[in-house]
A and B are shown apart, each in its own frame.
Chain A
């Protein structure tokens, strides 16, 4: 056991979790006689070794930040929103469709319309689950799972059978959107070695600030958290749990929808047939689980996640190691973050003179609280 100050412990626990996750990956690679050092060095090399790599890493992180925010807003209200892939997909298709259909509009009108429409599409999909929960008590886990598949097949139908043939190259792919409908910024792409980085990253950073502000500084955020912590007490305090359920799901879906919009207008510039639920939805959930409730946490987690994902591709080509290893590392890191209580047992909080008495009382208090927890939980 290592003695550290409480503040250091808060930093050390996640760091140890990340290192432990990499170790799990290394052990698996050693068992199947791959070289972990070569693997990890080629991973970091390809994710961060060139401007193009950095650009792609940021590009990958952009929608994940927004989707992670979406997941966290709904979890703050006590909901497990696994409809993230569907909500993002709705945003993606909507934005591309509008971009293609109204491609003659000037950029300063077209771009806001695309983005807002995508946000609304995502919010509506999530809003259905929220509305059903608020007025019918329908379990949101079921309804969001079902909505994922409904959106998946509905998008396929809309894009293959309803969308005008003029907007598509073939059944599975739409045309690419013109420059005035795109979030790409030529000078930004050029600065990052012609990677697919887009102006979406600024939207994501603004999203982080909004998330922090709404949750920490506004009544809306406070009510969402209050309802999440104790719906009965908040109803007693005069908050409408119905309203807050719907508001939190709408906000959650709005952020996911924006994530999908950026995937379309920034990364791919088109929409193509999806055969399974959207991976950015699930990746965004991973980022949220890693990053926790804080804006900074989500930002750091999305960067770490993207280094692994983008670096993993390079690792596969440079070192010949199966790409899957990075997903195993990511899952392992989340596992160690989840058992942070156990990881924290490695460190003993050091008592400094100043805080000794305070901590002593705090410890007895927490012991009391713990036994109470045992009595109530």
Chain B
């Protein structure tokens, strides 16, 4: 294997594994910046994955190659509806954010598996026929060296998510909506005094996280796992949560740290194809993503500081 092939393999599998994390972590940044801690990303992703797989299985013949994209969109919508539970509980009913988020994580897998059993009479779905597969950018893929590494046989959802991260950074830091959302998470009293509807902003934050988390789960199911079972989403939501904190609650940061996690995760999967690494005992590659994360966090970042009022319920005074 020559150097370019190895690099292309690493980049493409990094992108494949990063895409779901990027979407979910981006969702997380919006929720946390509005002041609502969302540890329920895992559950939201589960619902998204379930929806996408069921949609894909039932509608692949109708929509053909567009099915995974539509499945991801539908997964996002179901994720959004599911996250309403968290929004109502934390914003209107004064629930502890961590407990309410954990409820999403506890609720989603049994609910989805129950529905799978009710629909298909077994605990696991069939494999989907239309998945994201690999995508080559027309034109760009022909650029020498860079083309094969970045643009040929690559993951389309990952490139969408990277562009989305830049767009969402602009939304969060350069638009009126973004400023209002952040002020609801930094100092809801002050925001309220200035006429910002804190509840509405927080709803926006949580629902955006539900939508993007659902998409993330859907992409994982339609690009990596290909079916749905109780163990389809096993820790990706937590990884996304970690990526979001690691990225300092910033969309671009969340995207970059998701790429890092995706890289580390893919390394344990493609490691045996890379000369030099393949001779190491597999345990090193398996624990590498997690240990590296801790080390990088300790050395380069130290304390991550979230929005000031993140996790605090805002109770409007009468």
Contacts and interface: CB of A to CB of B under 8 A. Distances in A.
Contacts of A325: 110, 114
B317 to A, nearest CB: 3
Contacts of A282: 106
B235 interface: yes
B24 interface: no
Contacts of A137: 302-304
A49 to B, nearest CB: 24
Interface residues of A, number: 53
Interface of A: 28, 32, 80, 82, 132, 136-139, 141-143, 145-150, 153-154, 156-157, 161, 275-277, 282, 285-286, 289, 322, 324-328, 330-332, 334-335, 337-339, 341-342, 370-371, 373-377
Nearest to B102: A289
Nearest to A341: B94
Interface in B88-144: 89, 92-96, 98-100, 102-103, 106-107, 109-111, 113-114, 117-118
B99 to A, nearest CB: 4
B99 A338 contact: yes
Given A32-B118, A277-B235, A322-B118, A142 B242 contact: yes
A322 B113 contact: yes
Contact of A149 (B89, B96, B107, B290): B290
Interface stretch (B51-59, B61-69, B152-160, B293-301): B293-301
Interface string B275-318: 00000010100110111011001100011100001001111111
Interface string B163-202: 0000000000000000000000000110000000000000
A-B complex: 3 closest residue pairs judged by Cβ atoms: A137-B303, A374-B317, A327-B110
A338 B287 contact: no
Contact of A327 (B106, B189, B235, B312): B106
Contacts of B239: 145
Contacts of B85: 335
Nearest to B241: A141
Given A322-B118, A324-B113, A276 B245 contact: no
B234 interface: yes
Interface string B207-249: 0000000000000000000000001001100110110011000
Contacts of B100: 335, 338-339
A156 B297 CA distance: 25
A287 B211 CA distance: 29
A317 B197 CA distance: 51
A334 B103 contact: yes
B155 to A, nearest CB: 23
B89 A339 contact: yes
Given A327-B110, A374-B317, 14 more contacts: A138-B298, A138-B302, A139-B304, A141-B39, A145-B238, A146-B294, A276-B231, A277-B234, A331-B107, A331-B110, A332-B107, A338-B99, A341-B94, A341-B95
B279 to A, nearest CB: 15
A375 B317 contact: yes
18 contacts: A28-B114, A80-B39, A80-B98, A153-B286, A157-B281, A324-B110, A324-B113, A324-B114, A331-B103, A335-B100, A338-B99, A338-B103, A339-B93, A339-B95, A342-B93, A371-B318, A375-B189, A377-B315
Contacts of A142: 242, 245-246, 293-294, 297
B40 to A, nearest CB: 11
Q: How large is the interface on B (under 10, 10 to 19, 20 to 34, 35 or more residues)?
A: 35 or more
Nearest to A135: B298
A147 B309 CA distance: 28
A328 B287 contact: no
Contacts of A141: 39, 241-242, 245
Contacts of A138: 294, 297-298, 302-303
Nearest to A342: B93
Contacts of A146: 242, 290-291, 293-294
Contacts, number: 154
B142 to A, nearest CB: 40
Contacts of A328: 107, 110-111, 114
A272 to B, nearest CB: 17
A156 B303 CA distance: 31
A32 B118 CA distance: 7
A332 B106 CA distance: 9
A288 B114 CA distance: 25
Contacts of B298: 132, 136, 138
Contacts of B287: 149-150, 153-154
Contacts of A80: 39, 98
B124 to A, nearest CB: 13
Contacts of A285: 102
A289 to B, nearest CB: 5
A175 B36 CA distance: 48
B313 to A, nearest CB: 7
Nearest to B189: A375
Contacts of A289: 99, 102
Contacts of A373: 315, 317
Nearest to B85: A335
B285 to A, nearest CB: 9
A322 B283 contact: no
B92 A342 contact: yes
A137 B262 CA distance: 24
Contact of A139 (B117, B188, B245, B316): B245
B242 A377 contact: no
Contacts of B293: 142, 146
Nearest to A29: B114
A4 to B, nearest CB: 20
Nearest to B291: A150
A286 B106 contact: yes
B235 A334 contact: no
B294 A156 contact: no
B219 to A, nearest CB: 21
A186 B277 CA distance: 51
